[in-house]
Structure 1
């Protein structure tokens, strides 16, 4: 691994967060062997259809704050911190695989009786929600995927170091190498990796990311959750047959909105066409200037596309009851 790849790998392990939106609430949902932190917004009106948002590797429910605020009046929004991320402790069984994370989402929806929901996923969360939609179509009205982490034959160069986190001993080397890095340096690195234009990050969001990183680095399980989840992504990429993520994408019945960024350094822009063909009832939004987290970088554009998507799907009768 080259010296330029090591800093990128460390940067990819930094939490990506934005500034929390006003009016958000946090609560804990206790399930057997699992506790999930849930971020929500009071619904603008009663009777709105429920929505659930799932973040990516190193992220948290706060990744969705801007989009959730812009969808007030359209959906009743909740976002999860996956086990071991954000404010959610690790699962009792230590399962950080894509299937394990998908199981956590399914168990939450079953326990809360919120399904079917408008389900959103970014990056690793896109792989998780694809699996949820394939396995439990009864829980999903529509699916919105922002730069989903689906297998690529030719992986983006900047995504390779993230996969290397799954290699035994590599995380320990990263920690030694980055011991002298300040939180500000780490956050600048990940913003450069995840945003098409890092200058779009507001000072408030940057400060929030630094504070969140400092908090998470103090958690005894932070690196373990990152490493095991990275290994889970790599493992999911190698699965074939009916358990393969592309095969499961073909099984998704829910109408699907795909969002890809032209400057995404982690999920290849060229995969947009393959995804549009794999999901049977899909529409595609491409944002040439966006990076890996379009819902954070261009929230108004993504929100407008989601509003149109949900309205069109509702009119066509595709969402069901």
Structure 2
């Protein structure tokens, strides 16, 4: 897997396929393979699919200080420029949506189109802060307990039942990246509202109606703040349902990226 240097470290990323660049940006607890390994083949037939590991995931390194959105946006930009020719399309999931939006706002020449799925924009409200503080405390006290809570909160009841007892037990054996605590800390502090009016790229916002981690109000906030953006809400989908049933999101994304204009 290739690595590109940055001012205070290096970015570890994966790249597959050929054609115009599509950069997929993961969220808290994800990495290049865990978050997007199940959909690379859905895009790689006509695109170079680039998946950077943000700080805390993979072998990406940084100065070791507190994570910031600007730091992670710089990592996304570095991987995009190293792996693709010219402007790229950006797809951001969860916290990766905030990072992708910040990348588009601060580096408009780099981003052709932007897709934000189950993304967060402002975690300063009481419920959001309470939620991520609970994540932080559970992860610090008992990471196994945190994983159980994240599973219940992240997937819709239908998907959890669909795992079955054995499948659910296996899902809790998944490895999380070693730097997840730093990512949780950043997620709890995110507020990119001031950047949204600077986004020039045509944007598709996909909200998940059953999302408890990034409630659909976050997607509506993104839509309201990004001029000309399109909002699609998928009723009933939980935050992490996309890992087991990605078809609707893949279809919406491919249609948007393949079309002209902003898809409104």
Q: Above 0.5 in TM-score? A: yes
**Match of residue 229 from structure 1:** 183
CA distance in 1, matches of 2:205, 2:113: 11
Is the 8 Å Cα contact of residues 209 and 238 (structure 2) preserved in structure 1? yes
Deviations 1:195-229 (A, max 9, x none): 1232455978974762424xx4xxxxx3xx33333
CA distance in 1, matches of 2:85, 2:99: 18
**Match of residue 150 from structure 2:** 190
Q: Does 1:263 align with 2:210?
A: yes
Instruction: Evaluate the alpha carbon distance shift between residue 105 and residue 233 of structure 1 in structure 2; reply closer, same or farther with a 3 A threshold.
Output: same
**Match of residue 72 from structure 1:** 44
Is the 8 Å Cα contact of residues 51 and 77 (structure 1) preserved in structure 2? yes
Shift of 1:302: 0.7
**Match of residue 81 from structure 1:** 53
Q: Does 1:163 align with 2:133?
A: yes
**Match of residue 61 from structure 2:** 90
- Paired residue for 2:13, among 16, 25, 38? 38
Shift of 1:275: 2.3
**Match of residue 102 from structure 2:** 131
**Match of residue 251 from structure 1:** 198
TM-score when scaled to structure 2?
0.83
CA distance in 2, matches of 1:67, 1:125: 16
Shift of 1:152: 5.2
CA distance in 1, matches of 2:126, 2:240: 18
Structure 1: unaligned runs, 5 residues or longer = 1-26, 217-221, 238-244
Q: Does 1:28 align with 2:28?
A: no
CA distance in 2, matches of 1:73, 1:268: 33
Structure 2: unaligned runs, 5 residues or longer = none
Is the 8 Å Cα contact of residues 156 and 268 (structure 1) preserved in structure 2? no
**Match of residue 150 from structure 1:** 121
Q: Which has the larger radius of gyration?
A: 1
Instruction: Evaluate the alpha carbon distance shift between residue 187 and residue 178 of structure 1 in structure 2; reply closer, same or farther with a 3 A threshold.
Output: closer
Q: Does 1:305 align with 2:244?
A: no
Q: How many residue pairs align between the two structures?
A: 258
**Match of residue 178 from structure 1:** 142
Is the 8 Å Cα contact of residues 52 and 79 (structure 2) preserved in structure 1? no
Q: Does 1:282 align with 2:245?
A: no
Instruction: Evaluate the alpha carbon distance shift between residue 163 and residue 127 of structure 1 in structure 2; reply closer, same or farther with a 3 A threshold.
Output: farther
TM-score when scaled to structure 1?
0.70
